[in-house]
Structures are given as C-alpha cells and as structure tokens.
Amino acid sequence: MIPVSWYLTLSAILFCIGMYGFLTRRNVIIMFLCIELMLNAANLNFVAFSHYLTDLRGQVFTFFIIAVAASEAAIGLGIVVALYRNRQSVYSDEINELKG
Amino acid sequence: MLSKFIFLYCALVIITTALLAVRFRNPVHSVLAVLVLFFHMAGLYLLLNAEFLAAVQIIVYAGAILVLYLFVVFLVNLRQEINIERFVAHHNISIGISFLVFVMLMVGSRSFILGTHGKWTIDAIREVTHTKALGTEIFTSYILPFEIVALVLLVAVIGGILLAKQEKQGTAVDGKESSGPLIEEGRK
C-alpha cells in the first residue's frame, strides 16, 4: 500500500513546477499549459483522497475540474488567437498597455 | 511492492516531463512533453482504482485539449520563438517563490490526518463497476453542479467562437489603425 503522503508530495512538486513555469515563461501558450499542470496536481490530490477515504466525491470533483479545464483552454486559446491577430505577438511582457 | 515501483516510475516521468515542458525552447516540444505527462497521470489514476477518470484523462486531456494547444502553437510564429529569450526578466525570484510555496505545502501536509471514511470501498465499487458508481454519484447527489458545468461548457463554446472569429472588413481596418500606435509604444 502506497502511503497517501507520497501522492501529496508528488502533487506538491507538480504544482510548484507548474507555478514556476507560469511565473517565468514569456509565451502565453506555455503559461496556459502550466495552468493545466497545476490543475492536474489538484486532480491527483482529489483522486488520491477519494481512494484513501473510500468516497467517490473526490472523483466527481475531478470530473468537473476536467470539464472546467477544457472550457478554460478553449477560452484562453481563443484569447491568444485574437491577441496574435491584433498584436502579432504572444509574449506576456510585451502586452503592457495597462501598466501605464 | 509492485504498485510502489509503478508509482515511483510514474512520479519520476511526471516530474521529468513537467520540468522539460517548462524548460523546452520549442513550444511544440513542450506540448508533447505534457502529452507524456498526461499519459502517466492516467497510469496513476489506474493505480488509484479510478478507471473511468483514467479514460477521461486520456480522451479529454490528451485527445482534445492538447490538440487544441498544438493547433494554436502552429498558428503563431515558431521560427521567431526558437531564437529569442524564453523567460521573463528576473525569473530567479519566481524560482524562489515556487520553492517557498513547495516548502509551505510540505510543512502543511505534515499535519494532515485523513477524515471519516465513506461508503464506496473498493469492494463496493467492484460490485457495481466504477463507471456506474461514479455515474450514480454524479446524477443523484451532484446533479446541480453537473448542470452548471454544462452551462459553463456552453459559455466556453460561444466565447471561443466569438473571440477567435474573423472581424468584418470595415471594423478590422479600424482596429488595425487604432492598435498601430499601441504596437509602436509596446516595442519601445
């Protein structure tokens, strides 16, 4: 039997790698990809808890998170396409009009 | 013993491919690394007796979402991307921040205790099969969140079409004129 703390550690590592990528990369598409990594870390936690608590609620939530991730990807990539069409650039540090 | 070995293999591959996805210069390589990561995540779900979620992970994440990402990566200019700097300025601070968050998560999870157990033991799930058990749970206790998720998906479909839609000829010219000086300012 694998201890539940192994899953917690793995998902913490994955979450932090996703956060590192989100904070450092310039490309907006890779930033969205890193959000997917963080959502996957949360999903892993939910499924691990669901298994160790012998309750299906965590898996139901994972199911909903996957649906929300799909809609987030559709909207986010739509924004990226619109951005690239207007600005010819997908770099987060070049989009700084609101900075003043 | 075998399950521990499988877990360690999956964990190793997940961490390696996640790091590679963040570090790769070419966005296509990043997306392909994340594809490998999602497959191993499905392997972990199988290890946790969540067969239906493993299938959904492969079909929705690897099959639909990543293909969407690949399409958008191909739409933007890759040749320019490979030659320029991939990280923002002062990215060492972000490494510090994410390491700090990791330490905090580890310290927090040290004091974690599992709560009360539910009724879906492995034997109970095996009796009615996993998909049916999950379906029963979704369509009885969680019918309202399920309907809300359906609404969210509808909004996403409409929003995605609206955002990526080609503007009409007249308004497109106006938009280009107004954004012209903005681009110039941004380049400065």
**ipTM entry:** 0.92
Domain that holds residue A60: 27-89
Assess contact for B57 and B42: CB atoms under 8 A: yes
How does DSSP classify residue B58? I
Tell me whether residue A18 is in a domain: no
Tell me whether residue A1 is in a domain: no
Q: Which residues of B touch A80 (CB under 8 A)?
A: 72, 76
Domain tally, chain A: 1
Please give the pLDDT value at position B181. 47
**Would you kindly state where each structural domain of chain B is located, as residue ranges?**
1-82, 120-167
Q: What is the DSSP string of A58-92?
A: HHHHHHHHHHHHHHHHHHHHHHHHHHHHHHS--BG
CB burial readout B68-89, b (16+ within 10 A) else e: bbbebbebbeeeebeeeebbee
- The per-residue pLDDT string of chain A (100 residues; one tens digit each, 9 = 90 and over) reads 888 899 999 999 999 999 999 999 988 999 999 999 999 999 999 999 999 998 888 999 999 999 999 999 999 999 888 888 888 888 888 887 777 6
A 10 A CB-CB count for B139 gives 10
Max avg pLDDT among A85-94, B42-51, B123-132, B163-172: B42-51
Residue of A nearest to B39 (CA): A40
Task: State the burial class of residue B179 (Cβ atoms within 10 Å of its Cβ: 0-12, 13-18, 19+).
Answer: middle
CB contact under 8 A, A79 and B137: no
- Within chain B, residue ranges assigned H as helices are 2-23, 27-47, 51-56, 66-75, 78-83, 91-110, 122-128, 130-140, 143-164, 169-187
Distance from CA of B162 to the nearest CA of A (A): 8
Q: Which residues of A touch B124 (CB under 8 A)?
A: 54
Tell me whether residue A66 is in a domain: yes
State the average pLDDT over residues B165-178. Answer: 56
CB contact under 8 A, A24 and B91: yes
- Amino acid residing at A1: M
Topology given in CATH for the domain delimited by B1-82: Four Helix Bundle (Hemerythrin (Met), subunit A) (1.20.120)
Residue of A nearest to B26 (CA): A30
Sign of the dihedral defined by the CA atoms of residues A12, A18, A21, A23, in that order:
negative
Tell me whether residue A22 is in a domain: no
Show the tokens assigned to B132.
């049916």
Distance from CA of A3 to the nearest CA of B (A): 9
Distance from CA of A45 to the nearest CA of B (A): 11
Residue with tokens 């979704």: B138
For the entire predicted model, the pTM comes to 0.86
Which residue of A14, A17, A26 is in closest CB contact with B88?
Answer: A26
Residue of B nearest to A32 (CA): B69
Higher pLDDT, B85 or B47: B47
Tell me whether residue A74 is in a domain: yes
